[in-house]
Structure 1
Amino acid sequence: MTDPFSPLQLGPITMPNRFIRSGANEMMAHDCMPTRSLLEFHRRLAAGGVGMTTLAYIAVSRDGRTFESQGVMSRDSMPHYRAVTDAAHAEGGRISAQITHAGSFVQHKQLSTRRAMSASGGLDQLGAMMGRFFQHEMTTADMAQVRDEFVAAAKLAREAGFDAVEIHMGHGYLLNQFISPLSNRRKDAYGGTAENRVRFPAEVAAAVKEAVGADMAVLAKINLYDSARGGATVEDAVITAKVLEAAGVDMLVLSGGRNIESPWAIFNSPLPLDDMQALQPGLKSRLQFAMLKALTPRSLRFSEYYFLDAARQVRAAVRCGLGYVGGVISAPAARKIVEEGFDAVVLARALVHDPALINRFREDPQYRSACDACNRCVAAMYTPSGTHCPKTGNALRAEWNRIPAGA
C-alpha cells in the first residue's frame, strides 16, 4: 500500500484515510469536563480531512490527572464528550479517546491519597515540590483497581460515541512508569526484564480489548526509546510491541521521550523553555525549567523522520498495525511512511499549525507544511486559549463553559 488516502481497517472500524491526529494535550478541559473550545478544535480537524482525530489526555480517574482541570472520563462527563464525537462525525471523521493515568506525574494537590502511585516507591520528583516527598509502590490490588478504571473509561468512551481508545503507555505516565527502567525498580513479576516490565500495561490492554474490542479499535501509545541514560531502548520497545500485540491491540502508536527526563526527544527540537516558564510563575516552575534547559542537548535540530530508524525495528518484529509519529510535515513524507510499511501517519504540530493540512495534502501531492517545529504551540498550551499556533494566530476563543449534553 502506497497511498495514505486509502481507507484503513483498524480493528472493527474503517478509517477514511491513514492520517491520525496524534494525542497531544489540548488543555481545553475545565473542571474536568470538555469545553466548547475542545469541541471546535476537533471539529476543525475532522473538517480538515484527518481520518481520525485523537482527543488527548483523558484521565481514567480523578487521581489519574496530571493537571487539576484535566478531563476525566466519568458518568457525568460522558454526555459532554458525546457532543464532541457527534461534531467530528458530522464532518466525516473518526475520533479516538486517549485514556491515561498520571501515576506519580501529578502537578496538583488534589489527590485522594497521601502519596501518588507508581511502579516503585521512593522520592516523588514532582510531588516533592508540593510537599509530597514520596510515592507509593503499587500493590497487585492497586493494579487491579487501575486496570478496572481503564476498562470503565473505555466503556464510557464507547457510550460517548468514540470510535477508538488509545491507551497512553509512553512519555512517563503511569503505564510507562512500569515499562521504563527509569521508574520501575520492582523485584517481583512486574519488574526486572523488559517482558516483566510490560506485564501490567499488557494486562490493562487485554482487559480493555476484551471489554470494547468488538466495537472500538484499541490502540496503545508506546516509547521507541526514553532517550535518557538508564532508560528503555529500542530493543526494549521491540519486546514491548510483541507483548502488546499478543494482548490484542489493533495498533501501536510509536513515540519516544519522557516528560521529566527528556521531553525534547518527543519533539526532536528545543522547547521554548523561557516562554513556558513565564507562563507558569513560581519557584517550582523556575527550578523545573532551569533543569530542563541544562539537560537539553545543544546540538538538537529538527529533522523529518526522526523516529524512523527505531520504528523500522518494531515494524520488522510485529504484524499488528503501527502508527508512525515523528517529523512528517509534507505529502511526500506521508507517502514514504506508508511505503515503508506503516499503517498510519500520526501528526500533531503540523495540524496545530493548520487544521486543514490533510486536505491540502490531498489537493497537492507535493505540499509541505510551513510548520518549523518551533514548539511555541507547547508553550501556548498553558495560555487561556489552550493549544494553538502563535505564528498563524489560529487560537480558538477561550470558551470554558461546559458543552450542553447533546449540543
Structure 2
Amino acid sequence: MLEFPVIQGQGFRNVVEDGRVTGFSFRLRNPNYRGGPGSMLDGVEVVVDGERIPDHVPLWTLQGRTFTLDELRASTDVRWQLDEPATITVPKPGGLSTGVHHIEVTIFLRRSYIPPLIARTRFRAEAQRVIVPPAPEGGIKYGVSTYSYTGDVNTSMTLEDVFAEIADLGATGIEILGEGNIANYPSPDPAWVDAWHGLVQKYGLTPTNFGSWVDTTRYNGRDLTAEEGAEQLQLDLRLAKELGFTSVRPKFGVISWDLDPHPIWQETVERSLDLAAELDVVICPEIHTPTPIKHPVTQGYVEFIEKSGTEHFKLLIDTGIFNTEVIVDTSEEVDGDGEEIPPHLRPLAVPMSDFVEVLPYTHFIQAKFVEIDDDLHDLHVPWAQIIPTLLDNGWSGYLSSEYEGRREPGRGRDQVRRQHALIRSLVQGS
C-alpha cells in the first residue's frame, strides 16, 4: 500500500548515473480522488530546504516511463493511477546530503469539469524526508526489527509493506516477533509459509532473529515447569528454522527489576540445545536495560556458554543498555518501583570496555533507540562510541534497528531511516 502522506518516505534518494550523483528523486501519491492521463498533469513545483526548483525542471516517471513536462503534456497513453506512485527526479549535481530534508511540493492538475479559469488545480504538501546513504560493504550488516513499525503493521502496513520498507532503505536483514507477525501463530498455514519465502526472495532480505516468549506466568496459580518451557522454546526453534531464521531470542519471564530470569531458564535451554544444534539455530537471551553487562544475569549466561562449550547459546545485546540520558517519552508505559523514573528508563551508560568483553559471546545486536533528531543526533544512545567499538573489534554481525519511541502513524518508518543514516555515516567516517 502507498503511505498516506502525498510525499512518500520510500523512494527518497540520490540518483547515481555512471558512478556520479546527478540529482535526487522522490515519490508522490496522487492527491486527487481519481486517476487521469499524463496529458492532464501540468507540472510540479519543488522546494527543498528553501531552494525552489521550477516546475518545468523535474522529470516524471509513470508506469515505468520517464517524461519531461512537455513530453508529459503531449502524452495520452500513460496514466497516473491512484494506486501507483509518480517518481519525481530533480537534476542536481551532487544530489542532497545525508540526513533530514524539508520538502514542499505543489502539484498542478488540469480538470476538465471545472471552469477553465480555475481548471488548473493546485495540490500542496510538505514533509521531512531522510536521505539514507548506501550501506557500506563488508563488516557490519544492517537489519530492521518489525517491532519498529508497531502500530503501523496491520493498520497502514501489510507484512509485504514492511519488507518493501526495509529493502527500500538498503537494509538486508529482517527480524520478526513470532507472535506479532506470523498469521495463525504457532501453526501458520502452508500457504502463509510459502508466501513468506516468496517475500524473502522478492525483496532480497535475510531472516535474522526470531522473537520468542517463554511466558512463565502463562497459567494462573502456577509457573511453567522447565519441561513446559522447553516445549515452548522448541516449538519456536522449529518454526524459526522453517522460516529461515538463524537465531531465536527467548524472552524468559523475570522475577525482579534486575530482570533475573525465572529459575527454569537454564534447564529449559539445556533440554533444547540438542535441537538447536540439529537445526543450527542459536538461542540468544537478551541483555536489556536495567540489566548491565557486569551483572549476575549476564555473567550467568556467559558462564553457561563457557561451561557447556556450545555454539548454539549466545547473547543478544540491546543497545538500550548504553543509554546516557533518561528516557521520558517512550512507546510503553510501565509502572516503576515508586520512584519518579522507573528503572528501565534510567541511563545505565554501560562502558564500551564491558561491551568488548562480551562481544566474543554475542551473536546479535538489537539497535534499540527512542528518538533521533533532525540533525541525526540520537538523544540517548552514544553511537559515536558504539560504532568504533564494533569496527575496532571486527564485528561482522547484524545491527537490527529496534525503534521503541512514540507510535504516531508513520513515525517508526521515519525514525528507522534516521538511524540508518546516522549509523552508516559513522561507519563511513571511520
The answer to whether the superposition gives a TM-score over 0.5 is: no
Larger radius of gyration: 2
Q: TM-score, length-normalised on structure 2?
A: 0.42
Structure with greater proportional helix content: 1
Higher relative contact order (CA 8 A, sep 6+): 1
